[in-house]
């Protein structure tokens, strides 16, 4: 525990600092409500207009709607942008201070990145739950509302999968940070990974709704564990052996990304030159 104290302190300080940005949380919530509402209406129209396709779908309309609200609520848990603190440190040369600290640079950046994503997701998810989970049913839109997990097993699986999703996202965020440190800018990394994450994580469309021939590959690829797997566990679309497989994939890809990130950071830091004074 003594060795973990600096990293726990770094996580707590970044988390509490980011919670102060209430206007950003409200703006993000409003934006995600807007897009969530548009997507829910599109899904409702599709299921109503194509009953044959809806009957063959692996997810019901109610599951897709709940998935959509959850995806909007937890959007900040996906690493679709580099950590702005790391990008700033690389541009200004302040990265040298992190190299001089008596802690592991990778672990320090990892926990800071995890706190950055979690702190943005928590207030937005809470506001989204109130709006989509409680207010919509009260105004007569219960068919379009965020529904609770269908079973206790689904709730337990989601509770286990969500921190694994944060761990996986943080591990991939570190790879993005390594690219930023190597290229000295976050512009290219943000453009490259943004679209990739949004499509392959299930944020754009639940991965279970893709064609049959693509579903297995999409389930096995690493980005599914950042959003699609936890959300499908929540709505009950993944259960039994499939649920355990999803959790195992999250752990596996986290370990792989941590190994790649550590290797990449070591190589970049041995060649990094800081100029100025």
Residues with pLDDT less than 70, the chain? 273-277
Q: Chain-wide mean pLDDT for the chain?
A: 91
For residue 272, the model assigns a pLDDT of: 72
Q: What is the Cα–Cα distance from 168 to 163, expressed in whole angstroms?
A: 9
- What are 69-111's pLDDT values in tens digits? 999 999 999 998 889 899 888 888 888 888 888 889 999 999 9
**Which residue, among 143, 164, 137, 136, has the nearest Cα to 233 in the 3D structure?**
164
On whether the pTM is more than 0.95, the answer is no
Q: Count structural domains, the chain.
A: 1
Residue 134 belongs to domain spanning:
2-275
Q: What is the Cα–Cα distance from 254 to 250, expressed in whole angstroms?
A: 6
For residue 186, the model assigns a pLDDT of: 81
Residues 6+ apart with CB under 8 A from 45: none
For residue 274, the model assigns a pLDDT of: 67
At residue 151, φ and ψ (nearest 5 deg) are -140, 165
For residue 258, the model assigns a pLDDT of: 97
String of DSSP letters for 227-268:
THHHHHHHHTSS-THHHHHHHHHHHHHHHHHHHHHHHHHHHH
């Amino acid at each position: 525990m003594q060795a973990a104290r600096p990293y726990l302190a770094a996580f707590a300080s970044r988390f509490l600092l980011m919670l102060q940005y209430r206007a950003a949380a409200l703006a993000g919530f409003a934006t995600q409500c807007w897009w969530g509402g548009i997507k829910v209406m599109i899904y409702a129209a599709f299921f109503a207009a194509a009953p044959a396709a809806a009957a063959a779908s692996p997810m019901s309309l109610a599951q897709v709607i709940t998935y959509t609200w959850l995806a909007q609520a937890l959007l900040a848990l996906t690493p679709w942008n580099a950590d702005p603190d790391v990008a700033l440190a690389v541009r200004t040369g302040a990265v040298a201070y992190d190299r001089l600290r008596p802690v592991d640079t990778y672990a320090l950046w990892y926990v800071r990145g995890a706190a950055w994503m979690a702190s943005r997701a928590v207030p937005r998810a809470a506001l989204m739950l109130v709006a989509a989970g409680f207010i919509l049913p009260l105004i007569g839109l219960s068919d379009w509302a965020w529904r609770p997990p269908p079973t206790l097993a689904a709730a337990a699986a989601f509770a286990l999968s969500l921190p694994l999703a944060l761990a996986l996202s943080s591990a991939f965020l570190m790879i993005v940070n390594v690219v930023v440190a190597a290229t000295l800018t976050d512009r290219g990394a943000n453009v490259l990974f943004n679209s990739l994450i949004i499509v392959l994580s299930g944020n754009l469309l639940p991965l279970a709704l893709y064609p049959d021939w693509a579903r297995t590959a999409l389930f096995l690829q690493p980005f599914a564990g950042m959003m699609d797997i936890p959300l499908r566990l929540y709505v009950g679309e993944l259960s039994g052996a499939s649920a355990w497989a999803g959790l195992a994939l999250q752990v596996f890809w986290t370990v792989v990304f941590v190994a790649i990130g550590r290797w990449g950071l070591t190589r970049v830091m041995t060649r990094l030159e800081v100029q100025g004074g």
